[in-house]
Amino acid sequence: MPRHRREVAVHVAETLFEAEAALDGALAKVAGLMGTMPLARQEARVAACVGQPAIDHVAAAIAALSTARREMVAAHEALLEVQGKIGLGAVNFGGGFIKPEYPKEKSLHVVETTSRAA
């Protein structure tokens, strides 16, 4: 495999990881804003209807960011296919751990259980 192709793939991967982190950060910040606004309204002692349009807009922004994140995850999966098609094996880009396989089915699975003390 030409070294250049791997270098290009590394650049794409690093950019992908930055984009994923940016989306996660934006989603976290906007969710924080959503949590702050109702408490601020209560603290200011104003009617519940005050600021409701703003809450609606922030909720829409959260939904849009969630959609963007879902699409980025799909792009990541599509790039994994490309990685295989161009002959590049799995590469760990400094995470220090082996990534688990993506689930084939879109459902929740218990991966570890713990007993609770009564």
For the record, the structure tokens of 18 come out as 């930055």
Q: Percent of the chain scored above 70 by pLDDT?
A: 74
Domains of the chain: which residue ranges? Answer: 3-85
Of 5-14, 85-94, 99-108, the one with minimum mean pLDDT is 99-108
Report pTM: 0.71
3-state secondary structure of 109: coil
Per-residue pLDDT for 69 more than 60?
yes
Q: How far is CA 85 from the centre of its chain?
A: 25
Per-residue pLDDT for 70 more than 70?
yes
φ/ψ of residue 116, rounded to 5:
-100, 140
The residue among 78 and 87 whose pLDDT is bigger is 78
Residue 58 near residue 29, CB atoms below 8 Å: no
* DSSP characters over 16-28: HHHHHHHHHHHHH
Residue 95 near residue 28, CB atoms below 8 Å: no
The residue among 48 and 87 whose pLDDT is bigger is 48
Q: How far apart are alpha carbons 41 and 91 in whole angstroms?
A: 49
Q: How far apart are alpha carbons 29 and 70 in whole angstroms?
A: 17
